[in-house]
Amino acid sequence: MPGYTITIQAGQCGNQVGLQYWQQLASEHGINKDGTPTPYPQRSSSDIAHNTSPPTSQESFSGNGGNKRLHREDHPELFFTFSDSNTYTPRSILIDLEPSVVTKALNTLPMLNPRNAHVSDQGNGAANNWSNGYKYGSENIESILNIIDKEVDKCDNLSQFQLFHSVAGGTGSGCGSKILEILQDRYTSKKIITTNSILPSNEKTSDVVVQPYNSLLTLKRLIEFSNATFVFHNDALNNIENTVFNQGGLQDQGLSNATSFQGTNKLIAFVSASVSNPMRFPGYMYSSIESIVSSLVPTPDLKFLTTSVAPFSTQSHHNYINEYDMFLELSDDRYKTNKCVSTPTSSSEIAYISLMNYLISGSNLDRKEIRKGILKLQTRTNFVPWTSRSIGVVHGKKSPYLNSTHLEGIQISNNTSIIDVFNKILRQYDLLVKRKAYLNTYSEDNSAEEMDRVVDMFSECKESVVRVIDEYSACKSINYLEDDDIDMDI
């Protein structure tokens, strides 16, 4: 039985994405907005006869108040708490310094626990400044930890903390960084910490002038305190949104009058929910977050993961012919949530360390087409020389609550495209710090000693990011796994 997951949503971006995420999970598990479950769809006799999945703990459950859990083949309890009153409550903690987005989430999804929401009494936000968010998190960490500990106490088998946040703002970056530090200190010896981190746009002018400062400070904490970080880059997300939602599906999804971010938030939510598909709809492989992360992350520094999403059939009006067609679509750089295109400033062609494809279907998959797709990807993918060049395949099960039976998929990869992303952030940072612009917004006062302290803090963060860049650059070498400094004589 895989372990439970506690989700932390920090800041405006984290809570907006989190709202879409829980709506996605609720629809896949047939849970109404108030947390009440709908009857699990009955399988036909032929489905039962051909079923090879092991029986779940809920299939043998009996007792008062458990009727609605009988014969379920999914595992919503990994992400939801099931109460004695037959209602599901997300294991989610909502944190923000201003109340509007949290209030919207609680009103939109009454199943969310209002006692798990932490909002600043002042309600004035973090002013898009990492220091303000980090300071607030430090001053109110006991209150936040009290909420986290209560959720932990409800879990018989906690396996993972996952964080939704932006790295460029104030609360999600600053307060989120403080939370990562505390989680690492209290739980990480036994629990996995993953983050769904939204990186800022590098191509266009941002409204947040101190965005490079915030990003650098947050990246240091991601490097030190997370076990795996799923990177969602705003530039790439906007490109995917334009490709997917401008094909007619935008009107179908009722997003034409929604906020400009709802399309990208829906993409992040779909990918994040799909990552846990083999845990929530279990099979024989990759049924735990530990098995997924260990297959993708070879060393502690090489943990920044890129995802790719094939356009949903309900949005793109395109049904994939077969599994081979899906493999080709997932390998298309247009659908990667982090730009994976070699640029003139890139040192060399992007190299892949690990690659995993999810094929989500309501029926059996064609193994012949899968083998054909694997062979094609192995020939066209530039793997680092020391890896096995193996391509993981996850057979994700389509929720019986969803009417669509079409093949869907995502891809998770660990590749060197993160070098270019980090280098752009460092270049923007260097332009600001060279002129000492806005350093006073990160200092307690304007004294020379305080300014020196702030510069030293940034320099330390830059060193951490440069170390990861060097690590991803070094992993392209065939001698990467060799360590000349260690005497191997026995």
Rounded alpha-carbon distances, angstroms, from residue 164 to 194, 211, 290: 9, 18, 19
CA distances from 162 to 242, 273, 483 (A): 28, 12, 33
Q: Are residues 398 and 431 in the same domain?
A: no
Task: Examine residue 49 and state whether it is found in any structural domain, yes or no.
Answer: no
Range of the domain at 199: 4-38+74-249+259-420
pLDDT band at 489 (very low <50, low <70, confident <90, very high): very low
Section 372-384 average pLDDT: 94
DSSP per-residue letters across 281-343? TT-SSS-SHHHHHHHH-SSSS--EEEEEEPPPHHHH-----SHHHHHHHHT-GGGBSS-----
Alpha carbon distance 391, 42 (integer Å): 34
What's residue 347's pLDDT? 53
The pLDDT score that the predictor gives to residue 355 is 96
Specify whether 408 is located in the same domain as 432: no
Q: Which residue, 409, 299, 285, is CA-closest to 358?
A: 409
Q: How do residues 352-369 score in pLDDT, each as one tens digit?
A: 999 999 999 888 889 999
Question: What CATH number should be reported for the domain holding residue 101?
Answer: 3.40.50.1440
Question: Is the pLDDT confidence value at 83 over 60?
Answer: yes
Is residue 317 one of the residues assigned to a domain?
A: yes
63 falls within a domain: no
Which of 17-31, 95-109, 267-281, 312-326 is least confident?
A: 312-326
- Indicate if 338 and 450 belong to the same structural domain: no
Same domain, 408 and 307: yes
CB atoms within 10 A of CB 119: 16
- The reply to whether 432 and 416 lie within a common domain is no
Provide the 3-class DSSP secondary structure of residue 73: coil
- Per the domain annotation, does 52 fall within a domain? no
Q: Which residue has the tokens 């066209």?
A: 380
Pair (429, 390) in one structural domain: no
- Nearest by Cα to 224 from 196, 191, 175, 183: 183
- Does 264 have pLDDT greater than 90? no
Residue 86, SS3 per DSSP:
coil
State pLDDT tens for residues 164-205: 999 998 999 999 999 999 999 998 667 899 999 999 876 655
Nearest to 128 by CA among 438, 464, 446, 447: 438
The answer to whether residues 311 and 438 belong to one domain is no
Note the pLDDT tens digit of each residue in 64-81: 334 445 578 899 999 999
Domain for residue 287, yes or no? Answer: yes
Same domain for 407 and 447, yes or no, is: no
Q: 176 lies in a domain?
A: yes
- Which of 334, 281, 340 has its CA nearest to residue 311? 334
Same-domain check for residues 404 and 434: no
Report the candidate in 182, 145, 210, 121 with the shortest Cα–Cα distance to residue 425.
Answer: 210
Three-state SS for 437-478 is CCHHHHCCCCCHHHHHHHHHHHHHHHHHHHHHHHHHHHCCCC
Q: Are 99 and 125 in contact (CB under 8 A)?
A: no
pLDDT at 207 over 60: yes
Domain count, the chain: 2
The 3-state DSSP class for residue 259 equals: coil
Q: Please indicate, yes or no, if residue 121 is contained in any of the structural domains.
A: yes
390 and 449 assigned to the same domain: no
Q: What are phi and psi of 317, to 5 degrees?
A: 60, 35
Q: 177 or 286: which carries more pLDDT confidence?
A: 177
DSSP 192: E
Tell me which of 292 and 405 has the higher pLDDT: 292
Are residue 328 and residue 391 in the same domain, yes or no? yes
Q: What is the pLDDT of residues 135-167, one digit of tens each?
A: 999 999 999 999 999 999 999 999 999 999 999
No. of H helices and E strands in the chain?
A: 17, 12
Co-location of 400 and 451 in the same domain: no
Residues in contact with 14: Cβ distance below 8 Å, sequence separation at least 6, in sequence order: 8, 95, 163, 164, 165, 166, 171, 172, 176
Q: What is the pTM of this model?
A: 0.89
Q: Is residue 10 part of a domain?
A: yes
